[in-house]
Amino acid sequence: MIRTVKLENYLPLYIQEYREMWKLMQAENPEFQLANNETEKIKNNLFIETCDEKGISRFESIMGIFPLDTDTLESRISRVLTRWNEKLPYTYFYLLSKLNSLCGVNNYEIVKRFNKYEMDITTHLELSGQVEELDYLLNSVIPANILLKVNNKVNIETKGESNIATGLVFCNSFSLSDNFKEDFIANTEDCFAGAVINTIKINITDNFNDNINIIGNSNIGSILSVCENLVIGKE
Protein backbone atom coordinates (compact mmCIF):
# COMPACT_ATOMS: atom_id res chain seq x y z
CA MET A 1 0.00 0.00 0.00
CA ILE A 2 1.45 3.35 -1.07
CA ARG A 3 1.36 5.81 1.80
CA THR A 4 1.08 9.57 1.54
CA VAL A 5 4.30 11.36 2.49
CA LYS A 6 4.00 14.35 4.85
CA LEU A 7 7.44 15.43 5.98
CA GLU A 8 6.06 18.25 8.13
CA ASN A 9 4.70 15.66 10.55
CA TYR A 10 8.27 14.60 11.37
CA LEU A 11 9.38 18.05 12.50
CA PRO A 12 9.85 18.57 16.23
CA LEU A 13 6.86 20.24 17.81
CA TYR A 14 8.70 23.46 18.64
CA ILE A 15 9.79 23.84 14.98
CA GLN A 16 6.33 23.11 13.56
CA GLU A 17 5.27 26.51 14.87
CA TYR A 18 7.48 28.25 12.30
CA ARG A 19 5.74 28.77 9.00
CA GLU A 20 8.98 28.80 7.02
CA MET A 21 9.97 25.28 8.08
CA TRP A 22 6.40 24.04 7.51
CA LYS A 23 6.35 25.34 3.92
CA LEU A 24 9.86 24.02 3.29
CA MET A 25 8.80 20.49 4.21
CA GLN A 26 5.65 20.74 2.08
CA ALA A 27 7.74 21.80 -0.91
CA GLU A 28 9.87 18.64 -0.55
CA ASN A 29 6.88 16.29 -0.21
CA PRO A 30 6.41 15.62 -3.98
CA GLU A 31 10.01 14.41 -4.42
CA PHE A 32 9.84 12.09 -1.43
CA GLN A 33 6.41 10.87 -2.56
CA LEU A 34 7.85 9.96 -5.96
CA ALA A 35 10.69 8.02 -4.33
CA ASN A 36 8.23 6.24 -2.02
CA ASN A 37 6.01 5.24 -4.96
CA GLU A 38 8.92 3.77 -6.90
CA THR A 39 10.09 1.87 -3.81
CA GLU A 40 6.60 0.40 -3.41
CA LYS A 41 6.56 -0.72 -7.06
CA ILE A 42 9.91 -2.46 -6.63
CA LYS A 43 8.59 -4.32 -3.62
CA ASN A 44 5.41 -5.37 -5.46
CA ASN A 45 7.38 -6.61 -8.47
CA LEU A 46 9.25 -9.07 -6.25
CA PHE A 47 6.08 -11.19 -6.11
CA ILE A 48 4.23 -12.62 -9.10
CA GLU A 49 0.72 -11.89 -7.87
CA THR A 50 1.39 -8.17 -7.25
CA CYS A 51 3.45 -7.44 -10.37
CA ASP A 52 2.72 -4.67 -12.80
CA GLU A 53 3.43 -5.12 -16.53
CA LYS A 54 7.11 -4.28 -16.12
CA GLY A 55 7.50 -6.76 -13.29
CA ILE A 56 5.62 -9.64 -14.96
CA SER A 57 7.68 -9.20 -18.14
CA ARG A 58 10.79 -9.94 -16.05
CA PHE A 59 9.34 -13.25 -14.82
CA GLU A 60 8.24 -14.11 -18.39
CA SER A 61 11.77 -13.46 -19.64
CA ILE A 62 13.23 -15.75 -16.97
CA MET A 63 10.83 -18.57 -17.90
CA GLY A 64 10.99 -18.09 -21.67
CA ILE A 65 7.33 -17.07 -22.00
CA PHE A 66 6.24 -14.85 -24.88
CA PRO A 67 2.92 -13.12 -24.15
CA LEU A 68 0.33 -12.46 -26.83
CA ASP A 69 -0.82 -9.00 -27.79
CA THR A 70 -4.32 -9.85 -26.53
CA ASP A 71 -3.12 -10.96 -23.09
CA THR A 72 -4.18 -8.90 -20.09
CA LEU A 73 -2.04 -8.40 -17.00
CA GLU A 74 -4.25 -10.87 -15.09
CA SER A 75 -3.85 -13.59 -17.74
CA ARG A 76 -0.06 -13.08 -17.86
CA ILE A 77 0.16 -13.42 -14.07
CA SER A 78 -1.99 -16.55 -14.22
CA ARG A 79 0.32 -18.11 -16.86
CA VAL A 80 3.48 -17.41 -14.85
CA LEU A 81 1.92 -18.80 -11.66
CA THR A 82 0.98 -21.99 -13.49
CA ARG A 83 4.50 -22.64 -14.76
CA TRP A 84 6.34 -21.47 -11.67
CA ASN A 85 7.92 -24.11 -9.39
CA GLU A 86 7.32 -27.00 -11.79
CA LYS A 87 8.81 -30.18 -10.43
CA LEU A 88 9.09 -33.88 -11.23
CA PRO A 89 7.66 -36.45 -10.91
CA TYR A 90 4.17 -35.36 -11.93
CA THR A 91 1.48 -36.97 -9.79
CA TYR A 92 -2.30 -36.70 -9.66
CA PHE A 93 -2.10 -34.46 -6.60
CA TYR A 94 0.42 -32.24 -8.36
CA LEU A 95 -2.07 -31.90 -11.23
CA LEU A 96 -4.75 -30.83 -8.75
CA SER A 97 -2.46 -28.20 -7.24
CA LYS A 98 -1.66 -26.75 -10.69
CA LEU A 99 -5.35 -26.70 -11.65
CA ASN A 100 -6.12 -24.93 -8.38
CA SER A 101 -3.54 -22.32 -9.29
CA LEU A 102 -4.86 -21.82 -12.83
CA CYS A 103 -8.62 -22.26 -12.39
CA GLY A 104 -9.18 -21.42 -8.75
CA VAL A 105 -9.66 -23.85 -5.88
CA ASN A 106 -12.19 -26.54 -6.89
CA ASN A 107 -13.41 -24.41 -9.81
CA TYR A 108 -13.20 -27.42 -12.15
CA GLU A 109 -14.47 -30.99 -12.39
CA ILE A 110 -12.47 -34.18 -12.99
CA VAL A 111 -13.85 -37.60 -13.88
CA LYS A 112 -11.06 -40.17 -13.74
CA ARG A 113 -11.25 -43.72 -15.07
CA PHE A 114 -7.72 -44.90 -14.56
CA ASN A 115 -8.67 -48.55 -15.03
CA LYS A 116 -9.58 -47.61 -18.61
CA TYR A 117 -6.75 -45.05 -18.93
CA GLU A 118 -9.23 -42.21 -19.41
CA MET A 119 -9.81 -38.82 -17.77
CA ASP A 120 -12.36 -36.03 -18.34
CA ILE A 121 -11.66 -32.46 -17.19
CA THR A 122 -14.16 -29.58 -17.25
CA THR A 123 -12.92 -26.05 -16.52
CA HIS A 124 -14.49 -22.58 -16.39
CA LEU A 125 -11.72 -20.29 -17.64
CA GLU A 126 -12.63 -16.76 -18.73
CA LEU A 127 -9.40 -14.77 -19.02
CA SER A 128 -7.56 -14.43 -22.32
CA GLY A 129 -4.76 -16.99 -22.72
CA GLN A 130 -5.91 -19.29 -19.90
CA VAL A 131 -7.17 -22.02 -22.25
CA GLU A 132 -3.82 -22.09 -24.03
CA GLU A 133 -2.07 -22.30 -20.65
CA LEU A 134 -4.34 -25.21 -19.66
CA ASP A 135 -3.34 -26.99 -22.87
CA TYR A 136 0.34 -26.47 -22.04
CA LEU A 137 -0.18 -27.75 -18.48
CA LEU A 138 -2.02 -30.91 -19.50
CA ASN A 139 0.44 -31.73 -22.27
CA SER A 140 3.26 -31.42 -19.73
CA VAL A 141 1.68 -33.34 -16.85
CA ILE A 142 -0.70 -35.98 -18.24
CA PRO A 143 1.01 -39.23 -19.37
CA ALA A 144 0.75 -40.02 -23.08
CA ASN A 145 -1.15 -43.29 -22.43
CA ILE A 146 -4.10 -41.46 -20.84
CA LEU A 147 -7.04 -40.57 -23.11
CA LEU A 148 -7.91 -37.02 -22.07
CA LYS A 149 -11.14 -35.16 -22.82
CA VAL A 150 -11.19 -31.46 -21.87
CA ASN A 151 -14.10 -29.01 -21.98
CA ASN A 152 -14.03 -25.36 -21.00
CA LYS A 153 -17.48 -24.04 -20.08
CA VAL A 154 -18.04 -20.35 -19.32
CA ASN A 155 -21.15 -19.63 -17.29
CA ILE A 156 -22.69 -16.31 -18.34
CA GLU A 157 -25.66 -14.86 -16.52
CA THR A 158 -27.57 -12.19 -18.42
CA LYS A 159 -30.48 -10.08 -17.27
CA GLY A 160 -32.61 -7.76 -19.33
CA GLU A 161 -36.01 -6.79 -20.59
CA SER A 162 -37.39 -6.96 -24.11
CA ASN A 163 -40.52 -5.09 -25.19
CA ILE A 164 -42.41 -6.69 -28.06
CA ALA A 165 -45.60 -5.29 -29.54
CA THR A 166 -48.24 -6.63 -31.91
CA GLY A 167 -51.11 -4.69 -33.32
CA LEU A 168 -52.80 -3.01 -36.26
CA VAL A 169 -50.32 -0.58 -37.79
CA PHE A 170 -50.79 2.04 -40.52
CA CYS A 171 -54.39 1.28 -41.43
CA ASN A 172 -55.83 3.78 -43.97
CA SER A 173 -59.50 3.75 -44.93
CA PHE A 174 -61.04 6.02 -47.63
CA SER A 175 -64.80 5.96 -48.32
CA LEU A 176 -66.97 7.96 -50.77
CA SER A 177 -70.68 7.37 -50.18
CA ASP A 178 -74.03 9.09 -49.59
CA ASN A 179 -75.18 6.43 -47.13
CA PHE A 180 -72.28 5.30 -44.97
CA LYS A 181 -72.68 2.79 -42.15
CA GLU A 182 -69.84 0.72 -40.79
CA ASP A 183 -68.97 -1.23 -37.69
CA PHE A 184 -65.22 -1.42 -37.12
CA ILE A 185 -64.01 -3.78 -34.36
CA ALA A 186 -60.38 -4.42 -33.38
CA ASN A 187 -60.10 -7.18 -30.77
CA THR A 188 -56.70 -8.47 -29.68
CA GLU A 189 -55.25 -10.45 -26.82
CA ASP A 190 -51.54 -10.90 -26.52
CA CYS A 191 -49.07 -11.71 -23.80
CA PHE A 192 -46.85 -8.84 -24.91
CA ALA A 193 -48.99 -6.04 -26.36
CA GLY A 194 -52.08 -5.31 -28.41
CA ALA A 195 -52.59 -1.93 -30.01
CA VAL A 196 -54.00 0.11 -32.84
CA ILE A 197 -51.29 2.56 -33.91
CA ASN A 198 -51.16 5.35 -36.49
CA THR A 199 -54.71 4.88 -37.80
CA ILE A 200 -56.09 7.40 -40.28
CA LYS A 201 -59.75 7.31 -41.41
CA ILE A 202 -61.21 9.72 -43.98
CA ASN A 203 -64.94 9.67 -44.84
CA ILE A 204 -66.80 11.88 -47.32
CA THR A 205 -70.56 11.41 -46.93
CA ASP A 206 -73.87 13.17 -46.16
CA ASN A 207 -75.14 10.32 -43.95
CA PHE A 208 -72.45 9.36 -41.43
CA ASN A 209 -73.10 6.50 -39.00
CA ASP A 210 -69.88 4.92 -37.76
CA ASN A 211 -69.18 2.71 -34.75
CA ILE A 212 -65.61 1.88 -33.77
CA ASN A 213 -64.97 -0.58 -30.92
CA ILE A 214 -61.44 -1.36 -29.79
CA ILE A 215 -60.89 -4.07 -27.21
CA GLY A 216 -57.47 -5.04 -25.94
CA ASN A 217 -56.04 -7.23 -23.16
CA SER A 218 -52.27 -7.34 -22.63
CA ASN A 219 -49.75 -7.87 -19.86
CA ILE A 220 -47.64 -4.95 -21.06
CA GLY A 221 -49.98 -2.50 -22.77
CA SER A 222 -52.94 -1.98 -25.05
CA ILE A 223 -53.27 1.50 -26.49
CA LEU A 224 -54.83 3.57 -29.22
CA SER A 225 -52.37 6.19 -30.38
CA VAL A 226 -52.10 8.76 -33.17
CA CYS A 227 -55.67 8.33 -34.43
CA GLU A 228 -56.96 10.93 -36.91
CA ASN A 229 -60.57 11.18 -38.09
CA LEU A 230 -61.53 13.56 -40.89
CA VAL A 231 -65.20 13.92 -41.84
CA ILE A 232 -66.53 15.95 -44.75
CA GLY A 233 -70.32 15.98 -45.08
CA LYS A 234 -73.51 15.95 -43.06
CA GLU A 235 -74.09 13.75 -40.08
- Which pLDDT tens digits describe the chain residue by residue (235 residues)? 567 888 888 878 878 778 888 888 888 888 888 888 888 889 999 999 899 999 999 999 988 888 888 889 998 998 888 788 776 677 888 888 888 888 888 888 999 898 988 999 999 888 878 888 888 888 888 888 889 899 888 877 767 676 665 555 555 555 555 655 655 565 655 555 555 555 555 555 555 555 555 555 555 554 545 545 545 555 4
Are 7 and 29 a contacting pair, CB within 8 Å?
yes
Query: How large is the angle between the packed helices 130-141 and 73-83, nearest 10 degrees?
Result: 10
Distances (CA, A) of 130 to 73, 75, 154, 165, 230: 12, 6, 12, 43, 68
Question: Residue 93: how many CA atoms within 13 Å on its side-chain side?
Answer: 0
SS3 195: strand
SS3 139: helix
Torsional sign, CA 153, 155, 158, 164: positive
Nearest 5 degrees, angle CA 59-CA 60-CA 65? 155
| Backbone φ and ψ of 18, nearest 5° | -90, 125
Are 102 and 78 a contacting pair, CB within 8 Å?
yes
